[in-house]
Amino acid sequence: MKSNPERKLVKNYARAFAPATVSNIGPGFDLMGFPLFDLGDIVEVTVNDLSCSRITDIVGNTTLSKELEKNTAGAAVKSFLDKHAPGEFVDIVLHKLLPIGSGLGSSAASAVAAVVAVNALLSKPLEIKDLVEHALDGEVVASGTRHGDNVIPSLVGGVVVISDPVHFNYFKFDAPEDLIVLTFHPHVEIKTSEARAMLPKMVSVSDSIKQTAGAVTLITGMIKGDYTLLKAASSDFIAEPFRSKLIPGYHEIKFMASSSEAIAMNISGSGPTSFVFFRTLEDAGLFIPKIENVYDKIGLGIDINISKINNTGAQILEVR
């Protein structure tokens, strides 16, 4: 990098990780989410001396566009640099570790890792809350609408509740320490944009009352660590009735969950990944063969992951 006192980007290289997320959490459609451990995307950015930013490599995926504005990581970086370091550019390497169209907030994770990495190049990096708009500018490329329930939890960690979905104001709190989250990802791809298009335009008053009751109960249960109240995560009157039809085996597994040690189950984001809450690792382990049996019968591959809720969110891995 040439030395130039006008430059806003004072570091040359940064690498960041952003975690996968479970969004909606049942009754919190577009308003609630939390990140997981271990699963996520990594983005590297290196300052270049060209007149544009470029995606130079996407490791682990051959189908995503390398065109800057058609890629969630690229669009997020562009949005950030246009505002905070106009005229300065980076090369981007995306390590696409999450499956796309999985319901794990894959596009949000790429966008979040990208803005966290590029922010680390500034002499005075912005506060985390100021990165939200740029990560959303990236994620919208994939989902077609701006919704913050993947981007914000991936960025800030913990259980996130969006208090103002117009301006993306939010609050967050740490999840109950011992709560176990099992996610299973049947190998079908669901595009968020299509899963949103299939939702009803109107919700009845009675469904909206039930949805509000579920959301309030879930938040209270999360804050108090009251697992009985977390059962509310099983309810959703907006998306689950429609989207569950796209997920082979979903109803069978939800029925088994309701008669097991599981606390609650629902679809993660737009699916097909679904989450099940458990009190203990042992309970979660006992449920795994039941899920595997269902997908063996259907003849569909699955990935199963067990995690706690990640209260930290995205992280800078290296900056120099």
Question: Interaction with ligand HSE in 75-134: which residues (CB under 6 A)?
Answer: 105
Q: Does 150 bind ligand HSE (CB under 6 A)?
A: yes
Closest by CA to 261, choosing from 225, 227, 215, is 227
Q: Does 149 bind ligand HSE (CB under 6 A)?
A: yes
Query: How many other CB atoms are found less than 10 A from the CB of residue 133?
Result: 18
Both ends of the chain: CA-CA distance in Å?
A: 12
Phi/psi of residue 172, nearest 5 degrees: -140, 155
Select 147 or 254, whichever has its Cβ closest to ligand HSE: 147
DSSP letter at 2? -
Interface pattern 5-34 for ligand HSE (x via CB under 6 A): ------------------xx----xx----
- Beta-sheet pairing, 89-95 with 54-59: parallel
User: Shortest gap between Cβ of 246 and ligand HSE (angstroms)?
Assistant: 12
Q: Which residue is nearest to ligand HSE (CB)?
A: 269
Say if residues 309 and 283 touch (Cβ distance below 8 Å). no
Give dist(CA 60, CA 319) in Å, integer. 23
User: Shortest gap between Cβ of 151 and ligand HSE (angstroms)?
Assistant: 10
H, E, C per residue of 181-222: EEEEEECCCCCHHHHHHCCCCCCCHHHHHHHHHHHHHHHHHH
Select 164 or 318, whichever has its Cβ closest to ligand HSE: 164
Select 125 or 148, whichever has its Cβ closest to ligand HSE: 148
User: Shortest gap between Cβ of 140 and ligand HSE (angstroms)?
Assistant: 12
Interface pattern 248-287 for ligand HSE (x via CB under 6 A): ---------------------xx-----------------
User: Shortest gap between Cβ of 279 and ligand HSE (angstroms)?
Assistant: 26
Select 71 or 268, whichever has its Cβ closest to ligand HSE: 268
Give dist(CA 208, CA 191) in Å, integer. 25
Residues contributing to the site for ligand HSE (CB under 6 A): 23-24, 29-30, 105, 147, 149-150, 192, 195-196, 239, 269-270
